[in-house]
Structure 1
Amino acid sequence: MNGLVTSDVPAFAVVGRVNMGKSAVIATLLEIDDQDVVRVSATPGETTRCQPHRVIFGGRECIRFIDTPGFSRPVEALRVIHSLHGEGTPNLETLHRFVAEAGEDFGDEKRLLEPLLEGAGVLYVVDPAKPLRDDFLAEMEILRWTGRPRLALLNRRSETTGPDEEAWRSSLGGAFNLVRSFDAHHARYEERLRLLKSLLEIEERHRSKLEETIRLVEDEWERRREESAEIIISFFEEALSLKVEATLEERDLTLPSRRERKAELLGKQYFGKLSELEKECFAALLKLHRHHLLKADTNIDAFHGIDLESDETWTKWGLKRGQLALVSALTGAAGGLAVDAATGGLTHGAGTVLGGLLGGAAAWFKGGSLPDLRIDLTGGITLGAGEGKTLSMGPPKNPNFPWVLLDGILSRYRQMLARAHGRRDEEILEGAGEGFTRHFPRERRDVLAKWFNSCLKGSPNRALEPEVFQALVAALEEV
């Protein structure tokens, strides 16, 4: 034998027919989307030997899953095992003889049986959409003869129930201690945890170790949520205080085309930097959640992280008017959604410059298509030394902007959590659907509104951060 199983660590051999999704189940359960670590492929026979995958916490192995070759000739193997045993039901001793004496024609069967003969439990993966044939019944019988704790997993490839699923359940129920459903390409954290808890129902020898493992997984998930909240807090502190500046020469003040071009370039620079901040935020979140094939948008020329040019964005994301009025009153901000076009203190033709900047910003946001939701990006225009004028854009004046930004973060966080590690296609974080912030309880909105306001003023309220942290942790848990 190969020493795949030790007495002090619960081990489960993941077995089944070729291309039933064994490797995908392991990849999703252990959060491994690296093809070099767990190869998920439609090519038959990708797993040719037993490959142990260890779950380690604090440098200590807590549980082990062993990826095995798929059954190749189960009906023929069953006959050979019967002939080796003679009368009665084959047992472990007979299976040991089969592994020792059978030829390499049964190489896959011999290798997948090795961890079971060493003491591993069975995690049997089947696709219930496939017809229940004699070769599957033979596999079940051989696994039953091991006498090991056995869990059968119906690895569904779609949400619909296949015509043979009840037949599968009936046959599996007679050969396995427990039958569960699982979708290796869409399972979220709760379903992965449920599968781990199912192992408690079939494995009594390592119950305390399994309970400890489940507790450690839950603790790790809670730490991830808290670290995610910290990452988002850091993002908002930077994003809501972001400003960009440019110099407008004296001669440009009198040329509308130059003013508009400068305003457009400044707007693109602002949103490019905002997009870069969001990419950094999600790069940290993706690393924390062990995703390599799910990517943040790499386009920094425009702020595609949240499509502020889309009417749908402003319809579904951010707070409603009444909610905005309440939080604006709370923070002392101007009520409503009107554009702040104040020009006090501007001299020497700077009012004309402001008009050009507003025109550029309005063009950026599709002009009059969003008349009540345009963002005034003019954080101020200050006189520079000599003949030039220093233009400053950001942060946006629209009181709904932080809430739309937060909905964009939460929407992509939801997409990230829904991504199973067993998938091998690349995907871009885009986010979709309804927002979350308008459904927040009033107390949470009030805390966040005060903090957003302090960030927009360039001085985040540190005294509020514990409450903000708890508010974001609660929001992430709801997602």
Structure 2
Amino acid sequence: MNETVPRNVPTFAVVGRVNMGKSAVIATLLEIDDNELVRISPTPGETTRCQPHRVVFGGVECVRFIDTPGFSRPVEAMRAIQQLHGEGTPGLETLRRFVAEAGEDFGDEKRLLDPLIAGAGILYVVDPAKPLRDDFLAEMEILRWTGRPRLALLNRRDDATGPDEEAWKSRLGGSFNLVRTFDAHHARYEERLRLLKALLEIEEQHREQLEETIRRVEDEWQQRREEAAEAVLRFLESALELRVTATLKERDLHLPSRRERKAGELSKKYFTALAGLERDCVRSLLGIYRHHLLKADTDPGTYHGIDLESAETWSKWGLGRNQLAVIAAAVGGSAGLAFDLMTGGLSHGLGAALGALGSGGVAWFKGGSLPDLRIDFHGGVKLGAGEGRSLAMGPPKNPNFPWILLDGVLVRYRKMLARAHGRRDEELLDGGEGGFTRGFPAERRGLLQKWFVSCLKGAPNRALEPEVFDALLASLEEAERRS
């Protein structure tokens, strides 16, 4: 028995002509963006031997895919097989003789047929933008002769359709059990999952194992989303509690130029620390989703993340001013209501009304403004005689600040999930258009705002965290659907 095709594991050989995207299909399907594991190159014939790739859960191999050399002389190979067989239609035994007796001039064909003879199913990859020539028809015939379960995959490039695509589908439909379309450079999770489910339609022998594999893939994806939500929650909490400190000597307290210089130094220190928190969160997400060529930055010293010093960021990202005013009024009204309860109702609801009015008004007028990072020089902690004051800065006094942070993470999360692992170009995970948070349900906005306020005060509301986690989980799932 061929060692690459175990009897108890569903195995599929990925075959086709050279440079049709076989390796890219495997890389995207199995989320491998490492050339050491799956090498993808525009050079024809890059795969020169059969390379098994195992899908393992809990230490148990669930399914195996074999990357094979591409057909190099299919027409000549077809004729040689027919000559070996004589009259009638060749079958598995004739293919076995061909592999054993043919010379090395058919080396690629022999190597790709070897796992098929041993029992592997077939995933045949073609580029529908290519003309349907005789050599492709010869490949289909040879694969049909194996009698193995066969799925044909039209590997579109950038959603481009060729003039011969309908002809492709017609001819493939006559030789294969199933025909599906796929784009190895852009396929997302749902498309990858659909491809795995398509294998169920052609493989009866290992149906139960394939169903279990699909369940495990779905469970693992949910687990990854939960890990991502936890990483985002940690980032938001750390960012909203972030303060940076410095000491201003007593003799400098009354010198405006030195006070301004110290404020500039603290501001730079604050934004650098904030960018570091964001970078660490993005790196965690990249690790969770197995991206190595998509990077948070090229140089940690130059990472800037969300551009909080851009007026465009503060006007287009996060919530709109009306939304900010509504949720700020609601949270402020809740605080005022607590005051009313403490007074036994003697305030006649004045606390709730004033709280809502004040918070809503601040949110309306400051929601689209630039970040307000100031040092309270008079409020700084006074040190010993002659030592000066210990000063602190952060976070920005803008009600949209937490929402912009969340928008920035969701934008990067969406871009991350939109990148297929079959690509081999390095890319920076920069920002883009925001606006995710503006589409949140009002109930979710209100919940998050309460938690944001508690974090900004330096005392995160732990009782709210389970609900906040669920809200972030739902937000990531929505961003995933928009990727």
Is the structural similarity TM-score above 0.5?
yes
Equivalent in the alignment of 2:96: 96
Report the Cα offset of residue 246 of structure 1. 1.5
Task: Give the Cα separation in 1 of the matches to 2:224 and 2:275.
Answer: 23
Superposed CA deviations along residues 428-475 of structure 1, whole A, max 9, x for unmatched, are: 111212321111001111111111111111111110011001101111
Equivalent in the alignment of 1:17: 17
Report the Cα offset of residue 162 of structure 1. 1.2
Equivalent in the alignment of 1:362: none
Judge conservation of contact 1:184–1:420 (CA < 8 Å) in 2: yes
- 1:53-452 alignment runs, 5 A limit: 53-298=53-298, 304-332=304-332, 334-337=359-362, 372-378=368-374, 380=376, 381-385=379-383, 386-387=385-386, 388-452=388-452
Change (3 A) 1:337 1:420: farther
Judge conservation of contact 2:373–2:395 (CA < 8 Å) in 1: yes
Judge conservation of contact 2:295–2:427 (CA < 8 Å) in 1: yes
Equivalent in the alignment of 2:341: none
Task: Give the Cα separation in 2 of the matches to 1:127 and 1:255.
Answer: 71
Judge conservation of contact 2:320–2:367 (CA < 8 Å) in 1: no
Aligned-partner SS, 2:128: coil
Change (3 A) 1:303 1:261: farther
Percent of aligned pairs sharing the same letter: 72
Judge conservation of contact 2:263–2:375 (CA < 8 Å) in 1: no
Judge conservation of contact 1:321–1:336 (CA < 8 Å) in 2: no
Report the Cα offset of residue 6 of structure 1. 1.5
Q: Which moved more, 1:58-67 or 1:427-436?
A: 427-436
- 1:1-12 alignment runs, 5 A limit: 2-12=2-12
Judge conservation of contact 1:84–1:94 (CA < 8 Å) in 2: yes
Aligned-partner SS, 1:55: strand
Aligned-partner SS, 1:378: coil
Name the aligned partner's letter for residue 292 of structure 2: H
Aligned-partner SS, 2:64: strand
Runs of 4+ in 1 over 3 A off after TM superposition: 250-257, 298-303, 336-340
Aligned-partner SS, 2:432: coil
Report the Cα offset of residue 53 of structure 1. 0.4
Aligned-partner SS, 2:241: coil
Change (3 A) 1:328 1:300: farther
Task: Give the Cα separation in 1 of the matches to 2:167 and 2:187.
Answer: 24
Judge conservation of contact 1:123–1:150 (CA < 8 Å) in 2: yes
Task: Give the Cα separation in 2 of the matches to 1:121 and 1:431.
Answer: 42
Task: Give the Cα separation in 1 of the matches to 2:313 and 2:221.
Answer: 30
Task: Give the Cα separation in 1 of the matches to 2:368 and 2:424.
Answer: 43
Change (3 A) 1:157 1:247: same
Name the aligned partner's letter for residue 395 of structure 2: P
Name the aligned partner's letter for residue 187 of structure 2: A
Judge conservation of contact 1:279–1:298 (CA < 8 Å) in 2: no
Structure-1-length-normalised TM-score: 0.90
Superposed CA deviations along residues 99-136 of structure 1, whole A, max 9, x for unmatched, are: 00000100100000011001111000111111111111
Aligned-partner SS, 2:159: coil
Superposed CA deviations along residues 181-224 of structure 1, whole A, max 9, x for unmatched, are: 11111110000000001101111111111111111000000001
Q: Which moved more, 1:425-434 or 1:373-382?
A: 373-382
Judge conservation of contact 1:377–1:396 (CA < 8 Å) in 2: yes
Judge conservation of contact 1:200–1:211 (CA < 8 Å) in 2: yes
Change (3 A) 1:379 1:473: farther
Judge conservation of contact 1:410–1:476 (CA < 8 Å) in 2: yes
Judge conservation of contact 2:77–2:109 (CA < 8 Å) in 1: yes
Report the Cα offset of residue 249 of structure 1. 2.7
The number of residues matched between the two structures is 450
Name the aligned partner's letter for residue 76 of structure 1: E
Report the Cα offset of residue 336 of structure 1. 3.8
Equivalent in the alignment of 2:337: none
Judge conservation of contact 1:272–1:302 (CA < 8 Å) in 2: no
Report the Cα offset of residue 165 of structure 1. 1.1
Task: Give the Cα separation in 1 of the matches to 2:214 and 2:14.
Answer: 19
- 1:436-475 alignment runs, 5 A limit: 436-475=436-475
Q: Specify every segment of 5 or more residues in structure 1 that has no aligned partner in the other structure, as ranges.
A: 341-369
Structure-2-length-normalised TM-score: 0.90
Name the aligned partner's letter for residue 425 of structure 1: D
Judge conservation of contact 2:5–2:115 (CA < 8 Å) in 1: yes
Aligned-partner SS, 1:335: helix
Superposed CA deviations along residues 360-388 of structure 1, whole A, max 9, x for unmatched, are: xxxxxxxxxx9951222236441432342
Task: Give the Cα separation in 1 of the matches to 2:193 and 2:25.
Answer: 13
Equivalent in the alignment of 1:352: none
Judge conservation of contact 1:24–1:40 (CA < 8 Å) in 2: yes
Equivalent in the alignment of 1:32: 32
Q: Specify every segment of 5 or more residues in structure 2 that has no aligned partner in the other structure, as ranges.
A: 333-354
Aligned-partner SS, 2:380: strand
Change (3 A) 1:424 1:438: same
Change (3 A) 1:371 1:86: closer
Aligned-partner SS, 2:39: coil
Change (3 A) 1:25 1:373: same
Change (3 A) 1:300 1:398: farther
Aligned-partner SS, 2:227: helix
Please, what is the CA RMSD of the aligned residues? 1.8
Change (3 A) 1:298 1:272: farther
Name the aligned partner's letter for residue 268 of structure 1: K
Change (3 A) 1:339 1:214: closer
Aligned-partner SS, 1:377: coil
Task: Give the Cα separation in 2 of the matches to 1:276 and 1:383.
Answer: 27
Equivalent in the alignment of 2:351: none
